[in-house]
Amino acid sequence: MSSWTPAQLRHVAAFLGLRRIDAPTVYESFGEDFLAAPAPGFLNLGLWPTPSGDLEGAPAAARRLVATLAEELPRGGTILDVANGLGAQDLVVDALLSPRRLVAVNLTAAQLVAGRQRLEAAGAVAVCGDATRLPVASDAVDGVLSVEAAFHFPSRRAFLAECARVLRPGGVLAFSDIAVERVPKDPRSLIAGATNTRFWGIDPRTVASTRAIDRLVREAGFTRVRVERVGHRTIDPFCDFLDARLAAADAATLPPGQRFAGRRIIGQWRHLRRRGALEYLLVRAELPEP
């Protein structure tokens, strides 16, 4: 990746306010060779054993995050993977759960196309659709997985209502999410918040704390709700990993603007973590039996 692609330029134009920014604009611009991808086909921060990260540990961390969530779901059933990215996580789901049926939903059609071989290998049916209007029948699913995407959805409440609708009674939901615990008022935090919501195509009205997310899950009708804060095993080590990536030789071929943007974003995340603003959540919940 030695120059800007048309999709990256569209993302930059949207970021600069020339047009509305949405999740597909963001994710079309991140191909297989995305600098921040911890391993081919994964776009998550990873779940690391310690609060520090490096280049070598990234692929295992990416798989560990998916596996930790997927292990909560029933084996041999129908699994819905909402916002599946480039499909690498569906291979993990297939290997761990041997699902009878695996359906991967993603709003970014280009990612479903790019991940087609992985989806085929995982035996997954690919569907282009929105997490808040799932193209799936009611009571049809045994487990719903969503890795690191709920903060993108136009409404968590609508996403959770859809999960409750498509899951059968006793079905399990496992997802990871990014919470904003408080909004610090210092200028650096305000700039970091505004930059990140715009860059990642996040509607600032959907920003929510751990408590608010926990409440939304319960209000959607779920029971046995477990919410775990793991920012020290996700965001913090991922920042170290991305630092190392940017310092590595292959980053020298990157356009300077991309290196600058990468360093700025890491600096902003570290600042927001120090201010107690950013948190990463693992959430597990069940639909009650009648």
Q: Which residues bind ligand SAM (CB under 6 A)?
A: 23, 27, 42-44, 83-85, 89, 105-108, 111, 130-131, 147-149, 152-153
Smallest distance from ligand SAM to CB 148, Å: 5
> Which 3 state secondary structure label does DSSP give 201?
coil
Nearest-approach distance from CB 42 to ligand SAM, in angstroms: 5
Q: How far is the CB of 27 from ligand SAM (least distance, A)?
A: 4
**Please, which residue, 30 or 184, has the CB nearer to ligand SAM?**
30
Report the residue number, 14 or 184, with the smaller CB distance to ligand SAM: 14
- The 167-180 sheet, strands edge to edge: 124-128, 101-106, 78-82, 141-146, 167-180, 278-286, 223-229
Shortest separation between residue 208's beta carbon and ligand SAM, angstroms? 15
Cβ-based neighbour number of residue 85 at 10 Å: 27
Strand partners of residue 145? 81, 174
Burial zone of 116 (CB within 10 Å; 0-12 exposed, 13-18 middle, 19+ buried): middle
Task: Give every CB contact of residue 132 below 8 A, 6+ residues apart in sequence.
Answer: 153, 154, 155, 158, 159, 162
**What is the distance between the alpha carbons of residues 6 and 19, in angstroms, rounded to a whole number?**
15
Residue 146 pairs in a beta bridge with 175
Cβ proximity to ligand SAM: between 147 and 282 the closer is: 147
Give the residue at shortest CB distance from ligand SAM. 85
Nearer to ligand SAM by C-beta: 136 or 184?
136
∠ CA 153-228-269, nearest 5°, is 60
Q: Give me the least distance between CB of 38 and ligand SAM, in Å please.
A: 9
CB nearer to ligand SAM: give 27 or 238: 27
Question: Which of 134/287 has CB closer to ligand SAM?
Answer: 134
Q: Which two tokens stand for residue 238?
A: 């991922």
Q: Tell me how far, at minimum, the Cβ of 253 lies from ligand SAM, in Å.
A: 24
